[in-house]
Amino acid sequence: MSEGRAAAGRILIKGGTVVTMDPAHGDLDRGDVLVENGRIAQVGADLEAPGAEVVDASGKLVIPGLIDTHLHMWQHPLAGLGADLWSDEDYGIKVFPVRERFTARDMYESTYTCAVEALSRGTTTVLNFCHNVLSEEHAEESLRAHRALGQRVLFAYGMLGHMDRLAAEHGSRLAHLDRIRGELAGDRDGLIRLGIGVTSLEYGGMELVRKEIEYGREHGLMMTIHQNPPGQILEMHQNGLLGADLVPVHANVATDHELGLLGACGCCVSFTTEGEFGGGRSMGVIARADRAGVRPTLGVDVPSAVAVDMFSQLRITLNIMRAVEAQVEREAGRWPLSRHPGSPLVSARRVLEYATVNAARAVGLADEIGSITPGKQADLVLLNTGPFGIGVGDPANHIVLQSTAADVDTVLVAGRFQKRAGELIGVDMEALPRLFQGVRGRVLGVS
Ligand SMILES: [Zn+2]
């Protein structure tokens, strides 16, 4: 057990600019957050808490922990391999097949280093879409890596195993899910939950996908599915498979009708803006989804190409959405730009919602995380604001447009310090590069 897993105590975070993301509490210019037994006990000004450990947050922003809803953590040591791809086909040739060289040990080490990087950059919850479960040990070692840290995880067990044996292995994979479900049910602190990374329709076909989703529903598991070719959302709707417990990823090709279907069932979608935009996909879908009542969320997706950093995703998403919206206005003859009802749609605060309150819903924890609300889990990030302090206006503007991962000073998950005053707790920093380079050497033959 690391120091970071020590029992959560009573902590008073004092005098910060608190951005609660909860309309009932708003923002506090000089606010305090009291943490008790891992949960947020109070939010307000000048709180009294005799005996509590006091954390001075003056000059800092206090925000809910960021939530990444789509991350393939096993790809972490492949950083750079996915740079400069020019098509999905490129990805299918140059990056994805490398997974077959990963052993269970490689899965442990890559998941661990990725989790450390995400946590140190303020991502307190990840949805690990583990689509490299080539053996039971691959999944179990990935889970062991998650247990070694105190990050909150939805472990989406990838049903896409060996591509040529999807149907043949299906039964044994569901049996393995049964066993993991049983083991995690006894997990004392409950930070790690099991979900399903459903097989993509174009690989598995409707009958396998249906079995997986029915299994997930029977056992109350959150699920997520890659959605790339057109028409799949409609097809899943026609088969009665859509639901708020199923998070499509990408969905760039979704029609407005399909987005309406997702919105009607309270769905979230994970948009992985940098990977999608960098790969040439249409990003107009994010605003169309938001307008259709879908809750957008954000993900890094592929560490082989994209930094494991949600601050980048926030900023890129805001600016791409603005650029796309301006293009729509230009093409409609509304140029030069002027404000009119409903436009511009997106603001820094709205994008911050994507990575907090919306994402909490996507991982099935809307009542537990995503905002600084009394009663919720104390998943919190304190951000330095440097010698010049917070910019004028909405502090969400500062978080999205000014803050970087380097500003992450302190991170708590369930009221336990995972990072404090810039230092990760319970992580052997000297061992990290050896783990990372070790995997890279074994699977790519380079150091
Ligand atoms: Zn993906």
Rounded Cα gap, residues 222 and 129, in angstroms:
12
- Per-residue pLDDT of 376-398, as tens digits, reads 999 999 999 999 999 999 999 99
Would you say residue 2 lies in a domain? no
Residue 305 alpha carbon to ligand 1 centre in Å: 12
Predicted pLDDT of residue 4 = 41
Of 137, 194, 184, give the one whose Cα is nearest residue 161: 137
Confirm if 36 and 16 have CB atoms less than 8 A apart: no
Which residues hold their Cβ within 5 A of ligand 1, which is an ion? 301
Asked if residue 336 has a cis previous peptide bond (ω within 30° of 0), the answer is yes
Q: Which residues pair with 44 in a beta bridge?
A: 32
Residue 365 alpha carbon to ligand 1 centre in Å: 21
- Entry pTM: 0.97
Residue 321 alpha carbon to ligand 1 centre in Å: 21
What domain range includes position 261? 66-359
Would you say residue 115 lies in a domain? yes
Q: Which ranges constitute the DSSP H helices of 222-371?
A: 232-238, 256-264, 273-278, 284-291, 310-331, 348-353, 359-362
**What residues contact residue 399 under an 8 Å CB cut-off, 6+ apart?**
19, 61, 63, 314, 348, 352, 383
Residue 417 alpha carbon to ligand 1 centre in Å: 30
DSSP state of 99: G
Residue 190 alpha carbon to ligand 1 centre in Å: 25
Q: Considering its fold, how many domains does the chain have in total?
A: 1
Would you say residue 37 lies in a domain? no
Residue 353 alpha carbon to ligand 1 centre in Å: 21
Residue 72 alpha carbon to ligand 1 centre in Å: 6
Would you say residue 423 lies in a domain? no
Residues of the chain with pLDDT under 50: 1-5
Angle between helices 310-331 and 284-291 (to 10 degrees): 90
Backbone angles phi, psi at 170, to 5 degrees: -60, -45
Residue 46 alpha carbon to ligand 1 centre in Å: 44
Residue 91 alpha carbon to ligand 1 centre in Å: 11
Rounded Cα gap, residues 151 and 56, in angstroms:
23
Q: Which residue has the tokens 């999205």?
A: 400
User: How far is the CA of 195 from the CAs of 14, 181, 215, 297, in angstroms?
Assistant: 36, 9, 11, 17
Residue 334 alpha carbon to ligand 1 centre in Å: 36
Rounded Cα gap, residues 214 and 324, in angstroms:
37
Predicted pLDDT of residue 3 = 40
Rounded Cα gap, residues 361 and 255, in angstroms:
23
Confirm if 375 and 39 have CB atoms less than 8 A apart: yes
CATH number at residue 110: 3.20.20.140
Residue 128 alpha carbon to ligand 1 centre in Å: 10
Amino acid identity, position 252: N
Residue 302 alpha carbon to ligand 1 centre in Å: 7
Would you say residue 424 lies in a domain? no
Confirm if 85 and 94 have CB atoms less than 8 A apart: yes
Would you say residue 313 lies in a domain? yes
Residue 98 alpha carbon to ligand 1 centre in Å: 15
Would you say residue 259 lies in a domain? yes
Residue 249 alpha carbon to ligand 1 centre in Å: 7
User: How far is the CA of 428 from the CAs of 105, 435, 443, in angstroms?
Assistant: 18, 11, 23
Confirm if 381 and 356 have CB atoms less than 8 A apart: no
Would you say residue 365 lies in a domain? no
Residue 277 alpha carbon to ligand 1 centre in Å: 14
